[in-house]
Chain A
Amino acid sequence: MSNPSSHLESRSAPLRAFRHFALVLLAIAFLAPLVWMLSTSIKPETQAASGELHLLPAPASSTLAHAADNYSKVWSDRTIRFPLYMRNTLIVAVLGVVGMTLSSAVVAYGLSRIQWKGRNIVFFLVLATMMIPFPVLMVPLYIIFRDLGWNNTLKPLWVPAWFGSAFNIFLLRQFFMTIPTQLDEAARLDGCSHWSIFWRVIMPLSKPALAVVALFHFIYVWNDFVGPLIFLTDRDQFTLALGLQLYQSQAGNTPWNLLMAASTLMISPLVVLFMLTQRTFVQNVATEGLK
């Protein structure tokens, strides 16, 4: 592997030390918002909204008690029903991830392993749709889903995933292109159909790319705010993103400690997922799309 830092390689010790110093400050600045979120989430309300600058609640020994108190309040609140929103979000995420990964892979196969007239046109169309802003589709989608009777159900949030998405198709197509075609040819000589080549050759070789697509879609669902905002009106159907903003819109007095506890709960599955898959994630996320 080449040494990528060659353009800035500094041989002198003071320069290197300065770089580390600057990077440490920067790392602190980037993590501070999350640390402060955690810190607020374990304080009683009076201490959260005070001029003090402490990481832990006042008698440090009360930390656990306050943390338990805040988090259980968030979890068992009767009006803002966190477990329900978590369940809804998980339904959308799981159904969506399965559909998105499968169908994007199928389409990517058609765009990379089969030679056919018009393939480039379809591929160009796929790329072109990537730049269409969602707000452009907001009004007609609302009307389409209303006429289907899907508004105020979770369907508008996961059914479209079963048709693939431009970005994920693009990502997988780029990955499939790197798999040598001799493999398909050998399989075809053995009498394999496209379907079995897809399942027995391409899919097993593409696990890292498929994992990236699955992760991307999971994060997308966790993140999606505008979709649920438009399609869902009934609080029982809310996802986490919609539920979280209920805290703020309630009254003038935001219970900051509870809001931060709820935010922490919302973020933690993603952070855990990231830590479990860090390798695949950081290595593939960026690179696949560009080659």
Chain B
Amino acid sequence: MTALPAAHVPPRGRAERRARTRQLIAGLAWCSPWLIGSSLFVFAPMVMSLYFSFTDYPLLEPPLWSGSSNYQQLFHDPTFLRVVKNTALYAALSIPLYTIFALVLAAAMAGRARFTSFYRAAVFVPTLVPLIASAMVWMWLFNGEYGLINKVLALVGIRGPAWVVDESWVPVSMVLMSLWSVGQGVVIYIAAMQDVPRQLYEAATIDGMNAPQRFLHVTLPMISPAILFNVISLTIAAVQVFAVPYVIFRRPDGQNPAGHYYSMYLYENAFIYGKMGYASAMAWLQLLVVMALTGVLLLVGRKLVHYSRL
């Protein structure tokens, strides 16, 4: 760009253009770590996996073009259909429950009432626990014989289920575990609630609104950008859930079919069955689903979310 002939440009314009070029070079240089890193570790892999998804690629041999057969095969693969169903059910149950729970807790803890910082810490500490450690702890809590949960239930005369073994209880266990990390959402919502101008509440009170009405008509709209942001992150995370179910629902004879999720099956295809092409087709479908869901949420958000700032 610097080499462009600039003979006809008046001196001031040329100096300006040179300054602009210098800025461009500086900007690119400062961004180069990410530009290089994302090309190597994000964009190139994406292109590679798109290509692999149209091939037969058994890891130790070079990929062989196979057209759309991987994609066609997927829709006749009962395990694939099952993991899609499990993952969708998990997302559909956990995201709304998590969001409602986080909002209620944030509302109850947003003030400066006594002990608030203790409650906040109690809710936040579990989010620090590494996934794999939390999987271990919950596996122990859920243990049918000696687990804490069933022991406590027995105290009140309830015979607890086999939480991680019984297929119909697997989705419930997953949702319970996801709610344990609700602290992340709570912290985000508390921060957002603290930014809501107090005058709005005063005006609403003068207009005769009671507390629940103020929450619905003042708090919720004012913090809706934070809610949208959090729901999008939760969706992206739910679609790729892996570590916890991988550990918790593993049985001697293989994975509990109700506790088998999309990313796990992708991983198994790639690294256990050596079907890299098939796994790549799953990867691209996953990417398309995430992009579509994010797009839909952003569109819905444009209608519902209130962005004006006072």
Contacts and interface: CB of A to CB of B under 8 A. Distances in A.
A289 B48 contact: no
- The listed residue with most B CB atoms (<10 A of its CB), out of A1, A8, A136, is A136
Contact of A132 (B42, B115, B129, B143): B42
A38 to B, nearest CB: 10
Contacts of B151: 51, 53
Interface in B235-260: 236, 239-240, 242-243, 246-247, 250, 252
Given A9-B211, A287-B191, A2 B52 contact: no
Interface in A99-122: 103, 106-107, 109-111, 114-119, 122
B107 interface: yes
A256 interface: yes
A107 B115 contact: no
Interface stretch (A16-24, A74-82, A179-187): A16-24
Contact of B111 (A5, A30, A223): A5
A240 B129 CA distance: 13
A184 B30 CA distance: 16
- Report, nearest first, the 10 A-B pairs whose CB atoms are least far apart: A163-B37, A110-B30, A5-B111, A116-B27, A140-B45, A2-B198, A27-B122, A6-B201, A140-B48, A225-B243
A2 B196 contact: yes
B211 A16 contact: no
Nearest to A6: B201
A139 B197 CA distance: 48
A116 to B, nearest CB: 3
B109 interface: yes
A136 B284 contact: yes
A31 B126 CA distance: 7
B273 interface: no
Among A16, A31, A132, A274, residue most surrounded by chain B Cβ atoms (within 10 Å): A132
A137 B271 contact: no
A135 B240 CA distance: 7
Contact of A5 (B36, B48, B110, B290): B110
A239 to B, nearest CB: 10
A131 interface: yes
- What interface size band does chain B fall in? 35 or more
Given A6-B198, A107-B34, A139-B279, A194 B26 contact: yes
Nearest to B148: A36
A219 B183 CA distance: 15
Interface stretch (A64-72, A205-213, A264-272): A264-272
Interface of A: 1-10, 16, 19-20, 22-24, 26-28, 30-34, 36-37, 40, 48-51, 53, 103, 106-107, 109-111, 114-119, 122, 125-126, 129, 131-144, 160, 162-164, 166, 169, 194, 219, 222-223, 225-226, 229-230, 240-241, 244-245, 247-249, 252, 256, 259-260, 262-263, 266-267, 270-271, 274, 278, 282, 285-287, 289-290
Contacts of A117: 20, 23-24
Interface string B193-226: 1101110011001000001101100110000011
A269 to B, nearest CB: 10
Nearest to A283: B191
Interface of B: 20, 23-24, 26-31, 33-38, 40-42, 44-46, 48-49, 52, 105, 107-115, 118-126, 128-134, 136-141, 143, 145-146, 148, 151-152, 155, 180, 183, 187-188, 190-194, 196-198, 201-202, 205, 211-212, 214-215, 218-219, 225-226, 229, 232, 236, 239-240, 242-243, 246-247, 250, 252, 262-263, 266-267, 270-271, 276, 279-280, 283-284, 286-287, 290-291, 294
A33 B137 contact: yes
A50 B143 CA distance: 11
